[in-house]
A = this chain, B = another copy of it.
Amino acid sequence: MPRINYRTKQRDFLLDFAKSTVGKHFTVEDVKAYCESKNICMGTATIYRSLEKMIQDHIINRYYLDEKTGACFEYVGEEDGSTSNHFHLKCESCGKLIHLECHDLEIIKSHLLKNHGFYLDSFKTIFYGICKECQNNE
């Protein structure tokens, strides 16, 4: 596959949209809807191919949720790779994505590395569960 990224209208557009969703996630369906609302034509294949490249460039992260059909994407381009104590919590009830800065959770990384030889990628990993608000509502 090609390695070079040409700068195109579509790529710029998609990148702008992704940036506008910081702290949330979006789906391919969301991109399509946004394109339609802006009267911009972008083929489905292009969306998938562009997203795929951005994933490989670590600009975007992809993950799958249980409730939804289809993949979810999240913009992570501006995050500092050295902040290894940034974690993502995803509420399975309300869908909210929580960005958590917590030094204590460093113990997870070191424990996994020392005791199990596993280097944790805290950017990619998403902790699923139930947030405080949703616990109270139940």
Contacts and interface: CB of A to CB of B under 8 A. Distances in A.
Interface of A: 62-66, 89, 92, 98, 100, 102, 104-105, 107-108, 111-112, 115-121, 124-132, 135
Contact of A121 (B92, B105, B117, B135): B92
A100 B124 contact: no
Contacts of A92: 121, 124
B127 A112 contact: yes
16 contacts: A63-B66, A89-B112, A92-B124, A98-B118, A100-B116, A102-B115, A102-B116, A105-B111, A108-B108, A112-B129, A116-B132, A117-B132, A118-B131, A119-B129, A120-B128, A125-B129
Contacts of A121: 92, 128-130
Given A104-B111, A119-B135, 9 more contacts: A62-B66, A63-B66, A100-B116, A102-B116, A105-B111, A117-B135, A118-B131, A120-B128, A124-B129
